[in-house]
Structure 1
Amino acid sequence: MSLARQWGLEGVRPLFAKEVLRFWKVSFQTVAAPVLTSVLYLLIFGHVLEDRVQVFEGVGYTRFLIPGLVMMSLLQNAFANSSSSLIQSKITGNLVFVLLTPLSHRAWFAAYVGAALVRGVAVGLGVLVATAWFAFPSLAQPLWALVFAMLGGVLLGTLGLIAGLWAEKFDQLAAFQNFIILPMTFLSGVFYSVHSLPGAWYAVSHLNPFFYLIDGFRCGFFGASDASPWLSLAVVSTATLGVSLLALHLLKSGYKIRS
C-alpha cells in the first residue's frame, strides 16, 4: 500500500493543481496587485519615518519594514486563496463536483492549504524582489525566515479554509477578514516594534500569534527580534496545529458542505 493511500492523500495532486491554476490564471490580480500594494506601503512609511525611527542598531527603518511587509502579504494572500476558493465554489455550486470524488478530508486539507501556501509564498517573494531595490535586508539566519514563512502560509491557509467552510455568503467572509485577519496582521508589529508600545498594548500584542510570525520571520533577516525565536516557534506551531486539527474535523464532518 502506498504512503499516499495509507494517509488518505490519494487525489491530492489534481485538486492542488486546480487550486494553483485558479489563482495563477489571474495572477495580475492575485499576485501582482498585492505586490504593488506593499511597495506603496514601503514608499509612504519609509519616506515618512526613515530618519525618525530606528528599531535595531544599524538597521534603518526601511530595511526593518521590508520583512514585515513580506510576511504580511504572505499571510493575507494565503488566507484569501483558500477562503475565496471555497466560498466561490459553494455559491456557484461547483463544489458538488469535488464532493462527488472519493477524496478524503485529509486530501482536501492538503490541496487547499498547499495551494494557499504557494500563493502566499509567491506574493511574499514578489514583495521581497520588488522592495530589494529600495533596501535589501541581508539574511542573517535564513532558516528562521524559511520556517516562519512556511508556518505562516499553512496557518493562514488553514484559517482561510475554516472561514470558507463557515461563511455562506461573501459578506460573512468579508467580515471575517476585515474584523479578524486584517486587525491581527496590522497590529502584529509589521510597521513598528512592540517595545515602542505602552505597557497595556505591549502585553496585548503578545497575545496575538501573528506577532510571533512577524517577529520570528524578521529574526531570520536581522538576527534580532523582540521575542525569542524559540518562543515564537512554540506559539506559532501550537496555533498551527490547533487550527489544522479543527479544519480536519470540520472537513471530516462535512460542516456546511454536505447536507
Structure 2
Amino acid sequence: MSGQVPGGTAPRVRPISRPHWRGLWTVYRLGVMRLSRIVLETIVGPILSSLLFLAVFAIALSDTQDFGGEVGFLQFLVPGIAAFAMIQGAYQMAAFPVVYDKLEGTLADQIMSPLMEWEIAVGYALVGATAGLFVGAGVLGIASAFVALPFANPLLTVVVAVLAAFAFAFLGTVTGLWAQKWDQLSVVATFLMLPLAFLSGAFFALDRVSGVAGVLIRLNPVAYAIDVLRFGVSGWHATNPVIAVAVVACLTVAAAALSLRLFSIGWKIKA
C-alpha cells in the first residue's frame, strides 16, 4: 500500500517543466522582496548620491566645458552618471544576495532543488539587473526635470541599458560565488569595479584623453557601455556606436556564459 492515498489511487507525480518558469519567477520575486526591504540602501541611496555627483560637477565645471555646440555640459554628464549608477547598482545587487545566501547555506539548498542551476543564476541576475535599471531610470527621470535631455534614440537606450545591466549583474553573481566572506566582495568593488567605472568616460569625454591613457581607457568595456548610452540619450558619442553595442553585447554573453557555467558545476557552493 506504500505510495497510495486513501481509496487505493496512487498519487500523481506533477511533472516539472523545462524551463521551470514558476521556479525562476519565485527566485526573482523573493530577491526583489528582499531588496525592497532595504530600498533606501538599494535604490534611493544610489539615486541620491548620483544626483549629488551631478550637482557638484554642475557647480564646479559647467562653465568650463565646451562640446562644440553639440550638447551642453549637463546633457553630456547626466547620461554618463545615470549609466555609472546603473552599472554599479546591477553589479552590487547581484553580488550581495549571492554572498549572503551562500554564507547562510540557502544557496546550496537551491542548487539541490528541482530548479536547474542556470535558472537560479538567471534569477539572481534578474534581481541585480532590475535594481540597476531602477537606479539608472531614477537618475535620468529626476535629472530630466532640470536638464533638457533630447533622448536622441530611446530604443537604443533601452536595449543597451538592459544588456549592460545584465552584463554587470552576471559579473556580480560570479564575484558573489568567488567571495568567501564580505571583505573579499568589498575588495573587488573597491579595487576593480570602482576604477573601471570612474575611468570609463562617465565624467569626461573619451576623445579628450590621448596617449597611453586613452588606449587603456578604450580597453575598458564599461567605457563603451557608457558612451553608447550617452549617445542614445544625448546624441553625443566618442566611439563608433555600432562597435560599442557589439562590445556590450559580447560582454553580456561572456558574463552570462561564465556565470551559468560556474553555477552548473556548483563552484564554491557544493562541498
Q: TM-score, normalised by structure 2?
A: 0.90
Q: 2:114 aligns with which of 99, 102, 114?
A: 102
Q: Which runs of 5+ in 2 are unaligned?
A: 1-15
**Counterpart-to-counterpart distance in 1, 2:155 and 2:244:** 14
Asked if structure 2 preserves the Cα contact closer than 8 Å seen for 1:55 and 1:61, the reply is: yes
User: Does structure 1 residue 84 correspond to structure 2 residue 108?
Assistant: no
Distance in 2, Cα, partners of 1:92 & 1:113: 19
Matched, 1:250 2:270: no
Superposed CA offset, 1:104-157 (max 9, x none): 112112211111111111111111122223313111111221111001100110
- Indicate the structure (1 or 2) with the bigger Cα radius of gyration: 2
Q: What amino acid is the match of 1:210? A: V
Give the % identical residues: 30
2:3 match: none
Q: Which residue of 2 aligns with 1:119?
A: 131
Partner of 1:171: 183
What is the aligned partner in structure 1 of residue 71 from structure 2? 59
Taking the aligned partners of 1:103 and 1:70, their CA distance within structure 2 comes to 35
1:150 aligns with 2:162: yes
Residues 248 and 96 (structure 1), Cα distance of their counterparts in 2 relative to 1, 3 Å cut = closer
The counterpart of 1:43, out of the listed 55, 59, 75, is 55
1:161 corresponds in structure 2 to 173
Gaps of 5+ in 1: none
Does residue 133 of structure 1 match 2:150?
no
TM-score by length of 1: 0.94
Structure 1: distance between partners of 2:108 and 2:118: 18
Are 1:69 and 2:69 counterparts? Answer: no
Among 223, 229, 237, which residue is 2:249 paired with?
Answer: 237
- Alpha-carbon distance change, 162 to 56 in structure 1, aligned in 2, over 3 angstroms: farther
Deviates more, 1:25-34 or 1:98-107: 98-107
Q: Which amino acid aligns with 1:216?
A: V
Whole-Å separation in 2 of the counterparts to 1:43 and 1:158: 31
Q: Residues of 1 paired with 2:70 and 2:216: CA distance?
A: 28
CA distance in 2, matches of 1:202, 1:63: 23
Question: In 2, Cα distance between the equivalents of 1:56 and 1:253?
Answer: 53
How far residue 9 of structure 1 moved from its aligned partner, in angstroms, is 5.0
What's the offset of the Cα at 1:58?
3.7
* Residue 8 (structure 1) shift: 5.7
1:17 aligns with 2:29: yes
| Structure 1 residue 212 corresponds to structure 2 residue 198 | no
- Superposed displacement of residue 228, structure 1: 1.1
**Which residue of structure 1 aligns with residue 239 of structure 2?**
227
Deviation per CA, 1:69-102: give whole Å up to 9, x if none: 1111110010011100011112223324423421
Quote the Cα distance in structure 1 between the aligned partners of 2:111 and 2:166: 23
Give the secondary structure class of the aligned counterpart of 2:177: helix
Q: 1:150 to 1:56 in 2, by over 3 A?
A: farther
The corresponding residue for 1:180 is: 192
Distance change (3 Å), C-alpha of 1:56 and 1:17: farther
- Cα distance, 1:169 vs. partner? 0.3
TM-fit CA distance, 1:55 = 2.7
CA contact (8 A) 2:149 2:233 kept: yes
Structure with the larger helix share: 1
Local SS of the residue matching 2:219? coil
